[in-house]
């Protein structure tokens, strides 16, 4: 306190009492958030005891990340601290989501050893808006289902088909999975593969075949392959012929093999795995060994 009986303080005295720098206090004063009470005869800014409380509030709000504009509104009584805090939380949520995306992209770049071009692509895919992501998904589904869901209206249901949507607050792992998934569903070769698989599934159901027949067959196939594996039965074992007859009857084995080969393609399996990851689901059962046993048994007897 200056020794003139006024009870006022200089900037230097405020700085020593609060632990702030003179430069910071002067800047806040220049910005109009800490108005001097008066000035000395030499033109120096002077502050009263209330300036201490005001200065502490300014420091608190600044440490919480609020801009001087918001601080000024609170000090002027234009907005409450709660109102400003609510707005700031929303802004922080946006920043946190952006940081998660950045972290996910950088983690993927480091793991893959990506080139500059691939890094640019991954960053662009990761930062797509929700509307842009939906457009990519809609283009994909339109191409692979066009004309087929007319012949079989519940084909999407029977395939349990849905391209995963990236949530509003994704984990780095979900962003990572989405980037790979987005690359995959824009690949013309993968789209052609998926359409072929969908076409096979649509062909499984004729006009007199009830809904769910394809899923029932796949369930039986998994049970058949699983039982053979548990018994230690090799695909080339003569008993495998009897098992295939019970499973397929008089069906065209070459056609069944072609369908199973498409359905069990490694890229299709990866697509399902990525979709589950983006959706936040745990690892999904793929029954790869069960399918592989039936496929191997068919390949040995496809002309029989």
Nearest by Cα to 45 from 54, 36, 58, 53: 36
Kindly report, residue by residue over 86-133, the tens digit of the pLDDT: 888 888 877 777 777 777 777 777 877 878 877 787 777 777 777 788
pLDDT at 140 over 50: yes
Kindly report, residue by residue over 233-292, the tens digit of the pLDDT: 898 888 888 888 888 777 777 877 777 776 666 787 788 888 888 887 766 555 678 878
Kindly report, residue by residue over 56-71, the tens digit of the pLDDT: 889 988 888 888 888 8
pLDDT for 49: 85
Kindly report, residue by residue over 163-214, the tens digit of the pLDDT: 667 777 777 788 888 888 888 888 999 898 888 777 766 655 544 444 434 5
User: What's the rounded Cα separation, in Å, for the pair 278 and 294?
Assistant: 30
* Structural element, H or E, at residue 182: helix 172-185
pLDDT for 212: 38
Length reported for the chain: 304
Report the chain's mean pLDDT, rounded to a whole number. Answer: 78
User: What's the rounded Cα separation, in Å, for the pair 269 and 171?
Assistant: 22
pLDDT for 201: 64
Number of neighbouring beta carbons within 10 Å of residue 246:
10
Kindly report, residue by residue over 20-48, the tens digit of the pLDDT: 999 999 999 988 888 888 888 788 888 88
The sign one gets for the Cα dihedral 57, 58, 63, 68 is positive
Nearest by Cα to 173 from 280, 251, 81, 272: 280
Neighbouring C-alpha atoms within 13 Å toward the C-beta of 168: 3
pLDDT for 38: 87
Residues 6 or more apart whose CB falls under 8 angstroms from that of 303 comprise: 254
**Residue 9, helix vs strand vs coil:** strand
pLDDT for 121: 73
pLDDT for 90: 81
pLDDT for 207: 46
pLDDT for 27: 92
How many degrees, rounded to 5, is the angle at CA 114 between CA 97 and CA 138? 55
**Residue 2 DSSP code:** -
């Amino acid at each position: 306190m200056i020794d003139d009986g006024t009870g006022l303080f200089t900037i230097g005295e405020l700085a020593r009492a609060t632990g702030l720098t003179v430069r910071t206090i002067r800047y806040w004063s220049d910005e109009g958030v800490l108005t001097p009470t008066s000035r000395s005869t030499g033109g120096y800014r002077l502050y009263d005891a209330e300036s201490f409380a005001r200065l502490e509030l300014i420091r608190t709000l600044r440490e919480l990340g609020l801009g001087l504009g918001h601080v000024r509104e609170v000090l002027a009584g234009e907005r409450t601290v709660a109102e400003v805090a609510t707005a700031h939380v929303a802004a922080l949520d946006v920043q946190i989501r952006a940081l998660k995306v950045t972290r996910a992209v950088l983690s993927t770049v480091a793991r893959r050893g990506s080139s500059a071009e691939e890094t640019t692509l991954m960053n662009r895919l990761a930062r797509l808006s929700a509307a842009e992501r939906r457009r990519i998904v809609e283009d994909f589904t339109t191409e692979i289902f066009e004309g087929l869901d007319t012949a079989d209206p519940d084909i999407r249901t029977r395939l349990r088909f849905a391209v995963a949507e990236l949530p509003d607050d994704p984990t780095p792992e979900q962003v990572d999975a989405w980037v790979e998934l987005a690359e995959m569903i824009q690949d013309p070769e993968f789209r052609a593969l998926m359409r072929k698989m969908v076409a096979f599934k649509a062909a499984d159901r004729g006009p007199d075949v009830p809904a769910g027949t394809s899923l029932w067959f796949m369930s039986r196939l998994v049970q058949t392959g699983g039982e053979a594996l548990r018994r230690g039965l090799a695909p080339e074992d003569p008993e495998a012929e009897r098992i295939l007859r019970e499973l397929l009857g008089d069906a065209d084995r070459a056609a069944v093999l072609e369908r199973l080969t498409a359905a069990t393609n490694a890229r299709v399996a990866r697509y399902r795995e990525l979709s589950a990851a983006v959706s936040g689901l745990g690892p999904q059962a793929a029954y790869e060994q069960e399918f592989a046993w039936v496929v191997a048994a068919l390949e040995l007897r496809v002309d029989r």
